[in-house]
Each structure stands twice: as C-alpha cells, then as structure tokens.
Amino acid sequence: MKNPTTAIKATKPLSENQWLIRCIFLESIAGVPGMVAGMLRHLHSLRRLKRDNGWIETLLEESYNERMHLLTFMKMCEPGWFMKFLLLGAQGVYFNILFVSYLFSPKLTHRFVGYLEEEAVHTYTRLLHELDEGYLPKWSDPKFRIPDMAIQYWRIPEGKQTMRSLILYIRADEANHRGVNHTLGNLNQKEDPNPFVSDYKSGKAPPKAALKPEGYEREDVIG
C-alpha cells in the first residue's frame, strides 16, 4: 500500500496504556474475518458434501493467531466496562458485515481483509518507532517482562524476551495474514486448493505469504 491511512510517525506519540487500548481494540476485531470465512466455508463444505481444499484450516488458524495477540495484550491491561461495551458493539457490526460480504463475494472480502492487515502492519511499525525513540520507557525498561503465554506461543528465546521482540513477532503475523488474504483473493474460490498447505508433485515447498505483501497471482501458485 503506497499511501497507508495509518501514519508510521505521529506528531503526538501514545503512552503505553493508550497503545494497549488501541491494540486490544484492533485485535478484538482482527480475529473476526478468519472465523467468519472459515465458518461459512465449513458449512458450504458440509452442504456440498465435498472437501474444502485446505482453506478452512488456514482461515481458522488466522483467527486463532489474532486471538493470541488479543490475549497477550490483555495480560498487560484489563479493559474497563466502557471499553468492553465498545468491543461488543464493534464486533457485532463487523461480524454481520463480513458475514454478508463473504456470502456475496469471498474474493472481495479477502482483498478487503488483506488491506486491513496492511494497516495493522503500519500500526505496529509506528509502535516500534515510538519504542525505539524512547517514548515508551516502561516497555524499554530491561526489567519489564512480557507475558509468559507470549514466550511460549512464539517460542521467544532467552535474551530476546522484550516488548520490542514481541511486537516484531506480532507484526510478522499480520504481514503473513496480509499475504495470505491477498493470495486467496486471487484464486478461484470454489475449485482452487489452498496453496499454503498444498503438497506439490515436484516437491517444491508451499509459498511463504509474508515474502510477497501484495499476495501471489493465481498462475504463480496453481500449477
């Protein structure tokens, strides 16, 4: 995305608490698309009495990964009742919009989610910038410890269990979701297999989504 709506640099940096609120809201929404798409494709597979060609697993894994982002941030911040009310309303609206959108056009929905993931990448890039510039002293403190569940989930090695490393892992996840959704948006939604879990007769490994931000064209991954 050449002109992201999320600025990497800001005139007024956020505090640690403000960043946590922003990230919690972001991740509570980010976990919806994969679940909606996976659920609809699961039901479609049941109705057609046919396999789904590996799409469901990747979509549900994406949703689970986003939920782990949320749970990690919640270990560092407990939202108040007003924030929880906002999340409830936002998730309800977003779920129904995506539900109708995916029924109408899965390709369009995957493209839209790919752009949302691009914005998430820019959001975490801005967070890293403010962290490196010293605007977030609490997280820069060597004594600050990230949640144990994050260390276990991403298998963060000893010596790198810092907030900066955690954000790098999360940003990498978002970049991966971006590539996956753009690629899925380029495929035949009914017939093409999921290229990220497929076995190739030539022995070639499945493509890595994060290496191509705009996603792969259909002819690049379906042979």
Q: How confident is the model at residue 60 (pLDDT cuts 50, 70, 90)?
A: very high
Residue 1 maps to a domain: no
Residue 205 is predicted with a pLDDT of 64
Residue 199 is predicted with a pLDDT of 59
Number of residues written out for the chain: 223
Residue 83 is predicted with a pLDDT of 84
Residue 127 maps to a domain: yes
Query: How many independent structural domains does the chain possess?
Result: 1
- Residue owning tokens 């046919």: 50
Q: Which amino acid is at 129?
A: H
Residue 80 is predicted with a pLDDT of 82
Q: What angle do CA 215, 50, 222 make, to 5 degrees?
A: 30
Residue 41 maps to a domain: yes
What percent of the chain lies above the pLDDT cut of 90? 66
Under 8 Å between Cβ of 138 and 19: no
Domain boundaries, position 145: 16-221
Residue 203 is predicted with a pLDDT of 55
Give whole-number Cα distances, 54 to 45, 67, 127, 208, 216, in Å. 11, 21, 34, 16, 17
Residue 87 maps to a domain: yes
Residue 117 is predicted with a pLDDT of 95
Residue 62 maps to a domain: yes
Residue 6 maps to a domain: no
φ, ψ at 15 (rounded to 5°): -85, 175
For residue range 102-158, list pLDDT tens digits in order: 999 999 999 999 999 999 999 999 999 999 999 999 999 988 999 999 999 999 999
CA distance 64 to 163: 21
CATH number of the domain to which 214 belongs: 1.20.1260.140
For residue range 10-43, list pLDDT tens digits in order: 678 889 999 999 999 999 999 999 999 999 999 9
